[in-house]
Homo-oligomer: A and B are copies of this chain.
Amino acid sequence: MNGPDVSTATRVDHVDLDVLENVLSFYIRVIDTKVSRDLDQRLANLEVAKGKGKITALLLIDSHPGIRPSVVADLAARDRSAMGRILDTLEQQGLITRQTNAEDSRAQELYITPKGAALAVKVREIVVQQSEDFFDRIIPQDEQKILIDILKRAYRRLQEAGK
């Protein structure tokens, strides 16, 4: 009598999501939560489990020898201190090394180690495969292409906006 839905919901089916029903950020958030959880499980054995910051860093350093921490941080959408700590652990695990840039001694150059490169090979496979597997279950292939296309441009605009 007093609310829009008195039938105390006990099932998830067709529960109205209030305004969130049409809020893009809500869906992005939930899907990210689930896909990340799924990915973490698949990476559980490897040294980069938990959080995709490590993965992004590892792959970027592998494909861009000498890349700077601040660039990696921007691309992965983390602040410098957070990324710094991620790099600390990668370094401790012997996956990367840090060198001081000869021209600008404030800056660092990040390099992959053989161990890190070997791991990157595995990670690449898993990450690609997992994203495919996960989304194939819930989004038709043709729509996935549309998604990637839209989100890729959105990502670029975000980077530009970040100055």
Query: What is A's interface to B at a CB cutoff of 8 Å?
Result: 2-13, 15-36, 39, 52, 56, 59-60, 62-68, 71, 74-78, 101, 107, 109, 124, 127-128, 130-131, 134-135, 137-139, 143-144, 146-148, 150-155, 157-159, 161-162
Select one of B7, B10, B62, B67 contacting A8, CB under 8 A: B67
| A/B interface sample: 15 pairs, CB < 8 A | A4-B63, A5-B63, A8-B67, A13-B159, A15-B64, A15-B67, A17-B60, A18-B63, A25-B35, A26-B127, A28-B32, A135-B154, A138-B153, A138-B154, A147-B150
CB <8 Å contact, B109 and A30: no
In the assembled complex, how far is the CB of residue A53 from the closest CB belonging to chain B, in whole angstroms? 9
CB <8 Å contact, A6 and B137: no
CB <8 Å contact, A30 and B158: yes
Copies of this chain in its oligomeric complex? 2
CB <8 Å contact, A3 and B150: no
Select one of B21, B137, B161 contacting A161, CB under 8 A: B137
Which residues of B are found within 8 Å of A146, using beta-carbon distances?
146, 150
Select one of B10, B21, B64, B74 contacting A68, CB under 8 A: B10
CB <8 Å contact, B157 and A3: no
CB <8 Å contact, B124 and A19: yes
CB <8 Å contact, A34 and B77: yes
Which residues of B are found within 8 Å of A29, using beta-carbon distances?
32, 35-36, 52, 77
CB <8 Å contact, A154 and B18: no
A74 to B17, CA, bound (A): 12
